[in-house]
Structure 1
Amino acid sequence: MPDSVLSAPIMTMAGRPVVDSLPAASTISGRIMSRFVVDSALSGRVPLADLRRDVTVMVKACLELTAGLLTGADTTKPLSDVRFGVTEWAREGVPFDAMQQAVRAGTLLAFDHLLAQAEPAEDHAAVAEVTRVFFELSSRLATAMAQAYSNEMRTAGDDSVDTLAAALMAGKATPAMARACGVRLAEGYFVFAVAFVAPHDEGESRRIVSHRTVRRVRAEVSQRCGDQALMQMGVGTATLLIPQDHFDPAEAERFVEHLVAAAHTRVRATFVSASGDGIPEAVERVHAVLDIMRRLRRDGLARFEDLSLEYQLSRPGAAGHHLTAMVDPLEAHPVLLETLKAYLSTRCTRLHTARILHIHPNTVDYRLNRIAEITGLDPLHSDGVWRLRSALVARTLGVGEQESIDRGDPDRSAPAAQAC
């Protein structure tokens, strides 16, 4: 939204629509930061940069709510934003009275800003209506904040849900455990694996996810999938168990986009469906696919069926060793190996390959013939293309290498990246 809230006018003050006279969000947030927050319990709990952003978001939500009350517009979204902000602060350990004082200070600043523009002799009715609106504003803010804070405190005091998630993923959950934490075990789940990727990540490093990122992702999952969705965090990853009746797989791409927005970073994600007793196997499978995405340097959402061939080729066995051996002779010819990768990535289009490599198409033909001579597989025929592609996938995934994949942390063997 813009820095100041603009909506359809319903009353005027000093000849100007009242809603257009609301102060800029930056003005109020700046005054709160300089006059109040720096001396309150907020600043001791929340990093200054995060606090400045949080205060601005809260002020904008309150201004949107004020504009909605002045014009009769829908106030659902700004109230939701206020609850989210309170929940964030509650998770940081900010006392409720500190939140109340910050919001009250901002509300009074906005109210005084409007009254200062009134014409004493002409705007009696407008002043009375503005006063009524701000009484209603204060009431709604108090209710929304109290609800959000109490809900978060109730949730934070019980870690049994996380215990249940771990037990389900290990195949050890019981109905009694679920009842104890108010969760109804579903007959089937969508099992998601999500990795959070640092901006500088080239596909090999893991990242340590900050507590704020974890909270934002948890809140997003709860909002999109309900409180029956379960989540367990690894190092740089999350495993989600979403009841099948709480999630539409056709909306998976949009769901991942919301996770990206919540995490403020790129993600890799994949999912499969599983029955209750099939969750442990499904968890192993999705994290194996997540590791494949890391090795192939793919971001975003990849459905399991999209990488089923790569998944199968990544399984240990004689077939994988045989496939990788097919292209081993090209190790001594890196230019040919580069040409083969470019050729396969362009759907075997020689002209496109030539453009990518900045060479003449005849040079591409010569190199493809050399690949056929060295490997015995002709990249100009469908059978040779299929075998060469499979061999390169197996080689990229390191089939046969002794590399452990820790559940919830497919980037285990790499050095840690900077936290979010």
Structure 2
Amino acid sequence: MPDSVGSAPIVTMAGRPLADCLPAVSTISGTIMSRFIVDSALSGRVPLATLRRDVIAMVKACLELTARLFTGEDASKPLADVRFGVTEWAREGVTVDAMHAAVHTGTQMAFDHLSAQAKPAEDHLALAEVARVFVELASRLATVVSQAYSDEMHAARGEAADAVAAALIAGNATPAMARACQVRLAESYFVFTVAFVNRQILSRRTVRRVRAEVSHQWDGHALTQIGTRTATLLIPQDHFDPAEAERFVEHIAAAAHTRVRATFVSARADGISEAVARGQAVLEIMRCLRLDGLERFEDLSLEYQLSRPGAAGRHLAATLDSLEQHPVLLETLKAHLATRSTRLRTAHLLHIHPNTVDYRLNKIAEITGLDPMHSDGVWRLRSALVARMIGVGEPESADRGDPDNAAPAAQAC
């Protein structure tokens, strides 16, 4: 017969709330141990005491979930406990079929235990409530077991794929290794190098979110090496349209919740190590020039070549030596080139009046002999800045700071 506490009805059986009529944990855990664990190969790999502890924890979580469904309380904690137990069993090699069978057996035992206490003539409302709750219980447990098992298997495959990616990047991947990890090597890849801007490190949750976004975008075909500050993504060429690159990078930035710098090059499987090094060099150029988003390698190929060590680069870098005594002008030049020589955007970036920008650019032209307001001068100054900041000229002094965190130039010049 139903009682109530406030406005929430409590269904009783034999004078007790249904949640109090559930069987003891030991009643179910003993059967689960004998039927599914002791006779399996699992007992040879994991001590029985550990197995017993895990089974008891799982049964306790399932009974707590059942009780909360009867009382209407929040079921998130016992569901999380079930998910944890499924993940642990999956790591030990328990199949998903065995897990479903064990859960079904435990659920059936709990249902039979409750039904045996009922008096049909008096407890028909309680029996109806038991039937309703156990239908919901079966649905929830089936869902959480399947999802947790699938996630763990996906994570395991991801770890194997990560090992292949690391080997490709290091230049020592072999077909045998790829087959052992169940990864099919492509003949050639688009190699993305990505830097996460304005974040000291990515949290583990954010890394997982970025990884999931990459997997979603390329249907699991991409190989990844994602760190807390940078990422290398290897996408088979037959699964990638370069026209989608910008959209892809935008999705990565959204998943990471931060700005990114990215570039990509094409490479054969045996040339990925060199491609990664080239991409990292382009990212450094982007950092120095304060460029965000995606920059295709071919669009910065000249800057890349200028950044290579050599006498020509050192001579080019020396073009800006005359601005050493004018740090505000040098900072203005960097900002002007970062805005692609747009006067108003430069003023906005530096928080100064456009006329002040004009004045400073004229001073730069006067000191260097190169006019930053004309295309020829812009090209020479930009090239000199690349050579200087990448390090092929004079060593960069420590007080120049990090372009990512540089403060706007002072108002005065």
**What TM bracket, shorter-length normalisation?**
0.5 to 0.7
Question: How big is the shift at 1:333?
Answer: 2.3
Question: How big is the shift at 1:253?
Answer: 2.2
1:252 and 2:245 are equivalent in the alignment:
yes
Which position in structure 1 is the counterpart of 2:32?
Answer: none
Which position in structure 1 is the counterpart of 2:164?
Answer: 164
- Stretches of structure 2 that go unaligned for 5 or more consecutive residues are 1-71, 104-131, 397-401, 406-413
Question: How big is the shift at 1:279?
Answer: 1.0
- Stretches of structure 1 that go unaligned for 5 or more consecutive residues are 1-28, 46-85, 102-130, 404-410, 415-420
**What does 1:74-153 align with in structure 2 at a 5 Å threshold?**
145-153=144-152
* Native 8 Å contact 1:228 1:242 kept in 2: yes
Which position in structure 2 is the counterpart of 1:298?
Answer: 291
* Native 8 Å contact 1:171 1:277 kept in 2: yes
**What does 1:2-401 align with in structure 2 at a 5 Å threshold?**
31-32=74-75, 40=81, 145-157=144-156, 159-198=159-198, 201=199, 206-207=200-201, 209-341=202-334, 344=337, 358=352, 361=355, 368-379=361-372, 381-400=374-393
Question: How big is the shift at 1:258?
Answer: 2.4
Aligned equivalents of 1:232 and 1:360: distance in 2? 44
User: Aligned pairs, how many?
Assistant: 295
Question: How big is the shift at 1:145?
Answer: 4.1
CA separation of 1:342 and 1:150: change in aligned 2, threshold 3 A: closer
Which position in structure 2 is the counterpart of 1:407?
Answer: none
2:291 aligns to what SS in structure 1? coil
Question: How big is the shift at 1:385?
Answer: 3.0
Write out per-residue CA displacement over residues 292-341 of structure 1, whole angstroms, 9 at most, x where no aligned residue: 23333333222222322332222222222111211111111234434544
Q: TM-score of the superposition, structure 2-length normalised? A: 0.57
Instruction: Flag the structure with larger Rg.
Output: 2
Question: How big is the shift at 1:185?
Answer: 1.0
* Native 8 Å contact 1:226 1:246 kept in 2: no
Aligned equivalents of 2:183 and 2:347: distance in 1? 58
Aligned equivalents of 1:210 and 1:256: distance in 2? 19
Question: How big is the shift at 1:169?
Answer: 1.2
Letter in 1 for 2:227: G
1:194 aligns to what SS in structure 2? strand
CA separation of 1:400 and 1:342: change in aligned 2, threshold 3 A: closer
Aligned equivalents of 2:145 and 2:82: distance in 1? 18
Aligned equivalents of 1:196 and 1:30: distance in 2? 42
Higher relative contact order (CA 8 A, sep 6+): 1
1:272 aligns to what SS in structure 2? strand
Aligned equivalents of 1:360 and 1:401: distance in 2? 32
Q: TM-score of the superposition, structure 1-length normalised? A: 0.56
Identity %: 65
* Native 8 Å contact 1:220 1:259 kept in 2: yes
Letter in 2 for 1:232: Q
2:186 aligns to what SS in structure 1? coil
CA separation of 1:307 and 1:30: change in aligned 2, threshold 3 A: farther
Letter in 2 for 1:174: T
Question: How big is the shift at 1:376?
Answer: 3.0
CA separation of 1:162 and 1:347: change in aligned 2, threshold 3 A: closer
Write out per-residue CA displacement over residues 16-70 of structure 1, whole angstroms, 9 at most, x where no aligned residue: xxxxxxxxxxxxx99346x8679x577xx8xxxxxxxxxxxxxxxxxxxxxxxxx
* Native 8 Å contact 1:197 1:268 kept in 2: yes
Aligned equivalents of 1:37 and 1:140: distance in 2? 12
1:256 aligns to what SS in structure 2? helix
Question: How big is the shift at 1:370?
Answer: 4.2
